[in-house]
Amino acid sequence: MSVRHSWVVNEGGATTSWFDVRLAFADGARVDALAVLSGQDLRVEDVRAQPPLSLDDLAVLAEWLEDPLFEACVPAPAGGVPAASRRARPAWPRGREERRLVAEEYRAAREEGGDPVLAVMRATGHGRRRSLRLIGQARDDGFLTPRRARR
List the Cα angle 36/39/42 in 5-degree steps. Answer: 35
In angstroms, the CA 57 to CA 1 distance is 16
Please check whether residues 71 and 107 belong to one and the same domain.
no
Domain assignment of residue 49, yes or no: yes
Q: Could you tell me the residue range of the domain that residue 70 belongs to? A: 2-75
Please check whether residues 7 and 68 belong to one and the same domain.
yes
| pLDDT tens-digit readout, 11-64 | 888 888 888 888 887 888 888 888 888 777 778 888 898 888 888 777 777 777
pLDDT recorded at residue 123: 83
Q: Which residue has the higher pLDDT, 75 or 147?
A: 147
| pLDDT tens-digit readout, 93-126 | 788 888 999 999 999 999 988 889 888 888 887 7
Domain assignment of residue 71, yes or no: yes
Domain assignment of residue 86, yes or no: no
pTM: 0.46
How many domains are there within the chain? Answer: 2
Please check whether residues 6 and 69 belong to one and the same domain.
yes
Domain assignment of residue 116, yes or no: yes
Please check whether residues 102 and 49 belong to one and the same domain.
no
pLDDT recorded at residue 87: 47
Q: Is the dihedral of CA 51, 55, 61, 64 positive or negative?
A: negative
